[in-house]
Every structure is written in structure tokens, then in C-alpha cells.
Chain A
Amino acid sequence: MGIISIEKADHLFWLGRYTERVFTTLQMFFRYFDQMLDMDDTAYIGFCEKLAIPVIYENKDDFISRYLFSPEDPNSIYSNMMRAFDNAVILRDELSSDTLSYIQMALDCIEHAKVHANALVYDLQPVKDDLFAFWGCLDDNVEDEEGRNIIKCGKYLERLDLYMRLDFPYPYIEKEWNKFLNRMHKIRIGYQVTEVDRLTGVLQLGEGWRARKQEALNALWNIF
């Protein structure tokens, strides 16, 4: 279509961010969940600290149920999925009903698992599948490049943020940074050149970037 209002641009951007947040945090959750099975009951504390979310959970079981499913916990996977849905549902005309249906199914899967799950990783796998399908469908169904670029901008920005916080190896971060820059130049939303330059400078240090992690994160948050 190529007709995007300010509000819609905003929703597209946040749709990118929230879908990515659900995807990557769920993936990381699985890793920590595995550790907590029989190795480290308190592994979740480190997880929360890295993501800078408050440790409001009493123990590992409490963490598992609330971090995944609680609608009251604003940092839960469910809350983030809900926000992804809220942004997506008003973009039906932009995304198409087919594309939107994957977001609906991911949300329904979490709601179903909340009541029926007994093997969490297995039961929640469809959430990841649906998000992959959503992104694929987006590329295939959405004719408008502008809209796709805005979503991807949000997605890669969120991914960078999470990878940096969760201490991903440098090559991953470098790769996402390049993907982000590529999209950022294609959309017509103003960005802060100085912040982009600052982050570029920090990331040029290779693994050494970690010494200036906070500065890097700040720069990332201030780009838009």
C-alpha cells in the first residue's frame, strides 16, 4: 500500500520489537530452564539481572510460572506477547489476515500452555514456530517495503539490545548491528547520527566493546 500513518509506523516498529522480545527471551528462557531442572535452582536470578528486570519471583517454580504466563507481570513472556498482539491487530489491513493469524496462534498457544502444559519446552515450541512463520509471511505477503523495513528496524534494534545484555559473542552482535543499519537507512524516520556514530565506535572495538557496555546500550536506546 505504501500509506502509513504516524500511528501505524509506531505500531509497526513496536510490533517488530515485541515479537523479537518474545522470540529471543523465550529461547533464552529455555536455556535457563534447562539449567534449573537439576543443576542450578537460582539460575533465574542471573537471567533477570542481565535483562535488568526486577527479581520479584520467590523461587524457581514461581519464576517459571509467572515469567512465562502472568498477565500481571509486565516483563512476562505473556505480557510481551500480548503487546505484540495489540500492535499487530490494528495493522490487519497492512499485514493481511494470514500474516496476523500467526500472531494470534502464538498468543493462543501461550494461553493454552498456561493451563495445559506439562512439558514446557515442547508445548511452547509452536510459539517460536509461529513467530518464524509470521516473519516469513511478512516478507511474502506484505507488498509494501517501507512497512517491512520499519518492522525489521524494530526487530533488529530489540535483538541487539537483548544480545548485548545477555552477553552474546561479538560476531552475533556485529551481524545484528549490520542488519539494523541496513534497515535504518531505508526508512524515513529521523535518527540521531551522533548516537549511531558512538555505537559504531564502541562496536569497532571487537570483544573489547564489553568494557563500554552501558555506553553502547545508552547509544542504542537514543537512536530514535
Chain B
Amino acid sequence: MRDMVEHMEGINRLMARYGVKFGIYKNREFHEQLFPFDPLPRVIPAEEFEYLEKGLAQRVDALNCFLADIYGEKKIVKDGVIPEDFIFLSKGYLPQCEGMIPPKRIYSHISGIDLVQAKDGTWYILEDNLRIPSGASYPMIARELTRQASPRTFMRNHVLDNRNYAGMLKEVMDYVNTGGINVVLTPGRYNAAFFEHSYLAERSGAILAMPQDLYVENNRLFYRQYQGRQLQVGTVYRRLSDEYLDPLCFEPESLIGVPGIMDVYRSGNVALVNAPGNGVADDKGIYYFVPHMVKYYLGEEAILRNAPTYLAFYEQDRRFILEHLERLVVKDVSEAGGYGVVFGRDLTKEKLADLKEIIIREPRRFIAQEVIDFIDLDIVEGDGGVPRKADLRAFVLSGGRTRVWPSGLTRFSRNPDSFVVNSSQGGGFKDTWVLSR
């Protein structure tokens, strides 16, 4: 590990050379900045990964069953396992997707599951991202570059190669393909994750497409070639959010998007990765019910735990939340990206009282969780290491079977007092090593 630190300058130079960046909007202007990389990896022993792998695949399988159920029969609601409110009031529930059956019946092909490890070693799920989880490209290229800059490190350690992510992605795209080429659909150059879109396209051999490159004709989707030849598209790995995907189906004023693409999808003539409407399965409210889904659909106990969560919607939980607010973290279910998160311990008496009032008035809007004292990981600062909070985004790919990428994006907070690791809020990233033995 020490030689990784010694080679840090070389690594950073390579990162700059390959433009490993993400975009942010500051004062409405688009800026790209290097995604701060810390060379000390998170290391996951083989045995531990085996456990995570089982738990994550189980969770994602259950979530896929749930999505198929919600946009189909809705048995889980009829059986009273999940209250209707958490489905039909969710922003992520899209009635436009009712009755659609995606190719090979897969809804969440690429799932980004965020976990943390508590000081006692227990892993907890923090949240599921089933829409367009980003981040896999960063550890992929970081590995490529650290192997160049610090080759001996990799001779000595037994680290599973993670650069096969693009291959796994291609396998999924090929598996659901309805006949035609694979494209990665990016909203454009000024998207925060544009680097990732273009990098994944390159590495998976897919075509990077902008919305205007695609068009619908006679219920099929085509890529507009400059010589005028028609080229059918079979899979769209779209990095465009649902509401902008098709102005004829969703947000009518969207200028991006491919008009008519949803009709092609409904006809089964193209695969959309991930399926539109997945948001119903990954908001903070539905999170509470995921272990119930595992039981309901798979008849198994959930292997991986949720952080202990209370739902203000249920009277008993609400009473508990109001009594223990000081020690809990409260999350607004309609927010994402690290926003709408409040720690009870940081609030003054008045603020606590205000929050209680809002919770009583709008119980559906909040969940509360026990604060998990998760382990710190060292990051390099100056000549030494300093401990910082970090989480892990694991990538689970569902194609012919459900596989967990043997790596992941480890994000850390650069601020010593903060638990918020999101890159949009100044966090950095580490590579994640899964050991082969």
C-alpha cells in the first residue's frame, strides 16, 4: 500500500491525462473537475465478498420481482405487505409503464446498491439505486491507471481484476437485445456523468448516441447514420432520466429525448436499460419494505440488513421517532443525492420541535434511522493518513443471471465531520479491491 502513496503523483498525472472528471453546475455554469481520487483502496477479503455477493444478488432479484409485480398484478399491495401510499404516491411510480413487459422481464439491469460497514463489521444497506446509478467507470479507470503507475503493488497483492465491468455490461446488453446494435444514450456533453457515458460506450463496444442520433419509424428504433443507411437499435443503455426519455409519453416539453421510443419499447422492439419506472422501487420510503419483499417473493430471509429504520407513516414507529428524535437521522423520502438528511443530534431544541411538527403533519414524507457508527477508512492527507467516513456502491448486473461486480465505488467525505459522501457535495473516491483469496 505504501508504494501506492509514493506513486500518487504519477497516478494523479494519469488521471488528468485521461480526463477522469465529473461535471457540476456552479452559478448555472457547467464546470468539469477532476474527481478527487485517494490511492488507498478499500480492501474486501474473498470470504466477505462472497457473503456480500449473495446478499446483493438476493436483494436485486427481489427488487426485480417487485417491479414486475407493481407494473403488473400488484399482488404485494393486494396482500397488504406494502401500503398503496408507498407505491402510488411515489414520484418514481409511472402509470405510463403499466402493463409493459421489458425484454427478458428484467427491470433493473444495473443496480447500484449503497452499503456501509459498521464498526462491529456488520454491513448495512443504505439505499438502492435502480434508475441510472453512476460511478462504475471511476474505479475501472482508476485500476487501469494505478496498475500502470504502481505495478509492483499488484504483483504482491491478490486483487481480482475489475476491468471486466464493460464486458459484464456488454453481456447484459446483448442478453436483452431485441435485434440491432447496442447504444449508450447520453443526454449530452454537459451532463455530470458524461465522462462515464463515453468511457462505458468505448469499453463495451457500444455506440455513444445523443438523443438526436436516434429516431423511431414504424415501431422500431434506428440510429441515424450519416450516409443515410438505416441501422436498427436493439438495446439502449440510457443515461437519460425517465421524464426526459420520450416527450410524447412523459414530460411534453422535454427537448431532449426520443419521441415515440416508449411505444417501441412497449411493443417489445427495443430493450431499455434500465426500465423506465424503476424509481418506484428505490425511494427512501420503499427501502423500508425491501426485506419484506425478499421474504414475499423469494421466501427467504434477507441476507443483508437495512439500517434500523422507522416509518413515520406507521403510528407505532411515529411515536418511537418522536420520542427518540435526538439520536436518529431523519430523511425526506422525496429527496436524493445527500439532500434532505437531518441528524437529530445536530438540532437545537426549537429545531427539534419544528421537525416533530412537520413529521406529525406529513408522516408519509419521512423515515428515520438509527445512526450507524460506520468504520472510517484512511485517506492520504499530507504525509499521513487521516480517517474519513466512506460508503460503498456495489454494482449488481442482471442479465442471464445476477452478478455482482467484484469491485465497487468507495466514496468518502473529505470533511472530517461529515457523513455525506456524494461527489456533488465534494466527496472523493477510492478503488475497491476484492481479494482473490
Point out residues on A near B: beta carbons under 8 Å: 1, 3-9, 86, 89-90, 92-94, 96-97, 100-101, 104-105, 108, 188-189
**A contact residues around B202 at 8 Å (CB):** 92-93, 96-97
A-B residue pairs in contact (CB < 8 Å), sample of 14: A3-B207, A5-B210, A5-B223, A5-B225, A8-B226, A89-B198, A90-B188, A92-B198, A92-B199, A97-B18, A97-B141, A101-B17, A108-B16, A108-B17
Contact digits for B205-235, partner A, Cβ 8 Å, 1 yes 0 no:
0111110110000000001111100010000
Partner of B17, one of A8, A9, A92, A104: A104
B323 vs chain A, min Cβ distance (A): 54
Q: How far is the CA of A108 from the CA of B15 in the complex (A)?
A: 12
Q: Which residues of A contact B181 (CB under 8 A)?
A: 3
For the complex with contacts A7-B213, A90-B210, A92-B201, 9 further pairs of A-B residues with Cβ separation under 8 Å are A5-B225, A6-B224, A6-B225, A90-B198, A92-B202, A93-B184, A97-B18, A104-B19, A188-B226
Q: Chain B residues in contact with chain A, CB under 8 A?
A: 16-19, 141, 181, 184, 188-189, 194, 198-199, 201-202, 206-210, 212-213, 223-227, 231
Contacts of A105 in B (CB 8 A): 17
Min CB distance A72 to B, Å, is 14
In the complex, chain A residues whose CB is within 8 Å of the CB of B16:
104, 108
**Contacts A1-B207, A96-B202 hold; do A90 and B189 have CB atoms under 8 A apart?**
yes
On whether the beta carbons of A189 and B208 are closer than 8 Å, the reply is no
In the complex, the answer to whether A5 meets B18 with C-beta atoms within 8 Å is no
Q: Are A3 and B223 in contact (CB under 8 A)?
A: yes
Are A5's CB and B209's CB within 8 A?
A: yes
In the A-B complex, the 5 residue pairs with the smallest Cβ-Cβ separation, listed nearest first, are A92-B198, A9-B226, A93-B201, A5-B213, A93-B208
CA distance A89 to B189 in the complex (A): 8
With most chain A CB atoms within 10 A of its CB, the pick from B17, B209, B210, B231 is: B17
Contact A104 B209 (CB under 8 A): no
Distance in Å: Cβ of A96 to nearest Cβ of chain B: 6
Q: Are A3 and B224 in contact (CB under 8 A)?
A: no
Shortest CB distance B29–A (Å): 12
Chain B residues with CB under 8 A of A96: 202
| Nearest A residue to B197, CB-CB | A92
Q: Are A93 and B198 within 8 A (Cβ)? A: yes
Q: How far is A6 from B198 in the complex, measured between Cα atoms in Å?
A: 18
Give the CA-CA distance A6 to B210 in the complex, in Å: 11
Contacts of A1 in B (CB 8 A): 207
In the docked arrangement, what's the CA distance between A108 and B209, Å?
A: 27
Cβ of A101 to closest chain B Cβ, rounded Å: 5
In the bound complex, do residue A188 and residue B227 qualify as a contact, i.e. CB atoms below 8 Å apart? yes
Q: When the two chains form their complex, are residues A6 and B208 in contact, meaning their CB atoms are under 8 A apart?
A: no
Nearest residue in A to B209 (C-beta to C-beta)?
Answer: A5
- Which of B189, B198, B212 is packed against the most chain A CB atoms within 10 Å? B198
Q: From residue A138, how far is it (CB to closest CB) to chain B in Å?
A: 15
Q: How far is the CA of A3 from the CA of B223 in the complex (A)?
A: 9
Task: Find out whether the CB atom of A90 lies under 8 angstroms from the CB atom of B224.
Answer: no
Is there contact, CB below 8 Å, between B226 and A189?
Answer: yes
Contact across chains for B206 and A100 when beta carbons are under 8 A apart: no
Contact B226 A100 (CB under 8 A): no
Are A101's CB and B19's CB within 8 A? yes
Residues from chain A with Cβ under 8 Å of B231 in the complex: 3
**CB nearest neighbor in B for A9:** B226
From B19, B206, B224, A5 is in contact (CB under 8 Å) with B224
Q: Contact check: which of B19, B141, B224, B227 meets A100 at CB < 8 Å?
A: B19
Instruction: Tell me which residues across on chain B come within 8 A of A94, comparing CB atoms.
Output: 208
Q: Choose one: A7, A8, A97, A108; the contact of B199 (CB below 8 Å).
A: A97
For A188, the chain B residues whose CB sits under 8 A away are 226-227
B18–A101 contact, CB under 8 A? Answer: yes
CB distance from A190 to the nearest CB of B (A): 11
* B80 smallest CB distance to A (angstroms): 48
Determine the distance from Cα of A42 to Cα of B17 in the docked complex, in whole angstroms. 37
> Could you say which residues of chain B place their CB within 8 Å of the CB of A5?
209-210, 213, 223-226
Complex Cα spacing A4 to B227, Å: 8
Bound-complex Cα distance A9 to B223 (A): 13
By a CB distance below 8 angstroms, the chain B residues around A97 are 18, 141, 199, 202
Give Cα distance in the complex from A158 to B114, angstroms: 50
With a cutoff of 8 Å between Cβ atoms, the chain A residues found around residue B198 in the complex are: 89-90, 92-93
Bound Cα distance from A3 to B184, whole angstroms: 13
* A105 to B, closest residue via Cβ: B17
Q: Find A92's partner among B208, B225, B226 (CB 8 Å cutoff).
A: B208
Residues of B within 8 A of A9 (CB): 226
A185 to chain B, nearest CB (A): 15
Chain B min CB distance to A134 (Å): 13
A94 to B202: give the CA distance in the assembly, Å: 7
Query: Who on chain B is nearest to A86 by CB?
Result: B189
In the bound complex, how far is the Cα of B199 from the Cα of A108, in angstroms?
20
The CA-CA distance from A4 to B224 in the complex, in Å, is 8
Question: Residue of A at shortest CB range from B198?
Answer: A92
From residue B371, how far is it (CB to closest CB) to chain A in Å?
Answer: 41
Residues in chain A near residue B213, CB distance under 8 A: 5-8
Chain B CB count within 10 A is highest, among A6, A93, A94, A108, for A93
